[in-house]
Each structure stands twice: as C-alpha cells, then as structure tokens.
Amino acid sequence: MRREGCTRIVATLGPASSSPERIAALIKAGADVFRLNFSHGSHEDHAARYHTVRRVAAEVGRPIGILADLQGPKLRIATFAEGKVELTAGQRFRLDLDLTPGTATRVGMPHPEIFAAIAPGQDLLLDDGKVRLRIVENGTDFAETEVITGGPLSNRKGVNVPHAIIDLAALTEKDRTDLAFALELGVDWVALSFVQRPQDVAEARKLVGGRAGVLSKIEKPSAIDHLDDIITLSDALMVARGDLGVEMPPEDVPALQRRIVRAARRAGKPVVVATQMLESMITAPTPTRAEASDVATAVYDGADAVMLSAETAAGQYPIEAVSIMERIICRTERDSLYRSLMMAEVPTHDETASDAVAAASAQVAETIKAAAIVTFTSSGLTALRVARERPSTRILALTARPETAQRLALVWGLHPVVCDDCREFDDMVAIACRVARETEMAHAMQKLVVTAGVPFGTPGATNILRIVRVEG
C-alpha cells in the first residue's frame, strides 16, 4: 500500500479520529504520520492511540510515523472574578504577579520572566492577538499597559511577546515528563514547541539521545534570527504558522514560510508546513478555494509534508480532510509548472561520496527513464540525501530497521519498506528487484537505479550506484 503523491500528510489524532476504523480510514485516505498533541489528553489517551496506530499500520503493511508534539512553555494570564471582562481601546490595564481573581482593570500573569524581558513601548498580544496591549510602565512584578485593540478577555488566555527572548527553558517539567513517556512508548519524532535559540534544541537532543528524530517548530520571531543554527541541530523543521502569525505581521508569514522551507531543504532536513491548512473543514465537508491554494503553495515550494490539526483531531470531517489534501497534493504535483517552481533553488552539496552518489542517482534515473530509485539505508541518511534531490523518479527506501522506515514516512517522495538485511551485493540487487515488483513500482525489464553503502549497515556511507534491470 503506497501513496501516489510525494508530499506527505501529517494528521493529528483526537476524539474524532482515535478508533481503529478511523485510523485505518485515515491511512487509506493518505495519512503518513500521526501527531499526538501533548497539549491535550492524558498519557493513557496517547498510549491507546499509539498502540492503535502501530497495530493498524501492521495490518495494512505500511510504515507509519508517530510524532509526539510537546506543549512547550505556554504563557497565559490568570483568571477573572467573573470569568471574563471587556476591554476598551484607550483604557489602562495592569498585569501583575498577584493571582487574586482579576477585574476589568487588572489580571494576574504568573510569569516573572515576561516582566524581565519587556520594556515600555513594546506590545503584548493576548488570546492569539485578538487583544493588543502597549506597555506604558513596567517593573519586575508588574506592567501598566494601554489597551490598543480591545475586546472580550477570559480566563487563562495565551500571552505572546513579539520580538523578545523570554528567559524560559524550551522544556517545562510537564514537557520532560511527556517526553520520557513518549520515548518509552517508542514515538518516531518529537516536536519541540516555542524554540527560541539553538540551546533549546541541544538540550532536547541530549534528553532524546537518538531514540527519536527531533523536530523544531519555528513559531517565534527570535528563532528566525538563529534559523541556520537551529536547522543544524534539528532532524526536521516545522513552519508553525499559528503563533508565528500572531507574533509577526500576517504579511510577513508567507515569505518566512518560503524562507524556512528553502533553508531546511538546502540542509537536507525534512520540513513540515502546519496550521490552518484546511481550517474550514472542522465544520464543513469541503475546503475554501483559498485553503486549497495554501496547500498547493506548500507543495510547489517542495515541503516534505503538510499537517492537519483540529481538522482531523476534533473536526466533523477528518477522513474527507485527508482525502482532499491528498487530491490537492496529487493535482499540484502533476502540474507542468510543479518541478520548475520546486527546483527554483537547487540544493548545494557537500564534497562527499554520499552527496555525489545521491545527486547522480537522480540524474541517472532521469536520463535512463528508470522506474524507481532504490536506496538501501540503515539510519535513513542515504534516503534523506536522495530525497533532497527531489528526483522525478519514485524512491524506494529499503531498510532492515522498522524504526528507520517509520521515521522516513515523514520525508518527501520516500516509500519506506522494511526488508531483510543485506550482506552481499547480489542480495541487494535481488531484494531491490523483488520489492520494486511487489510494490508495483517496477515491472519486468524496467530499469532501477540502486544506491547503497559498502560495508553494508554503515550509517552515511553511500558509495555505490548501480543500474539494474528487473528480471521477467
């Protein structure tokens, strides 16, 4: 069972999509990776979903990735005496460390780190930017503000501080507990929320210890200032447009999305575009035309994957959302302009045998009209290098390690298959031809381009390219 499109689909699991029947239907519709959102739900909920995905994936015979998305240091105001107040533009409003229930003139904000990072003239955004406050005066335990954009404000709404680096660890105590639990389960990817600087990623990598891929969510303007260093330390990136769009002007987000996607592609790291892709499908059976165009834009840019959040976790039409996203992907990838737009910036290569073989595999496959490129990979590095070339030929990623196959489910164009380990070169050719036929990627007498590393099983040692013909 394999996908037609090359761009992958990440679907978030939740109350609307956790039964074995729903998960099987989502996989059939085109989902490649399932996201467990640790901002919601209990460990028991996530464990049940994890085991259901693994069981259903084994039944359908396709490696499926699982992504644990950590909540991160979410900043929130405290509560109001009446649960809600109405703020008016021009009025004064105080934020402080006092957790006494708030009024129409003040509310608690239990984050001394925010008071230490702000200054008069800066703006604070509350409730995803619906309420904007401008700081008039502040100290170590308070901020007097003027309401710039008013409106209703209720208990525990989020706080965003644009253009400020808050002295908060990227991993809260809850995140550390959730991370340990997710790694014990055996997730394939861990997503870090609200990454601000490279040190945040380095700390998480130490805790993960290679047991999962580390995916950094770019949703803070401060992360843009350190983008290259964050990419270097990460295994994958996500353009998390929700908070990024709150803290930055909306007109800046499209250009930043393209910049992040291209930077990740240059580095050969998978990149996911997320948030509000088919938002209207939470309650409607079809997306808006603007949403369809938004998905297509990410595909034209060459993103590895696009993500659905509430559409599949809590929406009324989770299966339809994945199906329509897959249709948009396939239609966009068939467009005559697709390859020229996606390849507008060709990736640079390191001066290594591995990069040379990966680049050559795409060119050779195109020249000889090969049915597929077959990569043998242990750690996944060989397959990642070939996928970075965005070849026009389909890619079979063969590995003896199920965890590698599941992690590669996030990567553009890869069809991961778990197969027997190779010890001899002739075994490699035989397995490549057999799997290509079994997956219907190649038929008798068609050509394959096979890449591997010798000695077999050595991570990153891609040094062989061979053209073979599938026997009849």
* Distance separating alpha carbons of residues 408 and 138, to the nearest angstrom: 48
Pairing of strands 142-149, 92-96: antiparallel
* Distance separating alpha carbons of residues 427 and 429, to the nearest angstrom: 6
The DSSP bridge partners found for residue 467 are 449
Rg (CA), the chain: 24
* Distance separating alpha carbons of residues 40 and 461, to the nearest angstrom: 41
> In the structure encoding, which two tokens stand for residue 2, read together?
């394999």
Residue 294: helix, strand or coil by DSSP?
helix
User: Of 362, 373, 420, which Cα lies nearest the Cα of 397?
Assistant: 373
User: Of 231, 225, 112, which Cα lies nearest the Cα of 167?
Assistant: 112
Residue 179, Cβ neighbours under 10 Å: how many?
22
User: Of 277, 327, 333, which Cα lies nearest the Cα of 302?
Assistant: 333
Q: What residue type is 192 in one-letter code?
A: L
Q: What residue type is 234 in one-letter code?
A: S
- Give the contacts of 57 (CB within 8 A, at least 6 positions apart): 27, 63, 64
* Distance separating alpha carbons of residues 91 and 413, to the nearest angstrom: 54
Catalytic residues: 35, 76, 217, 275
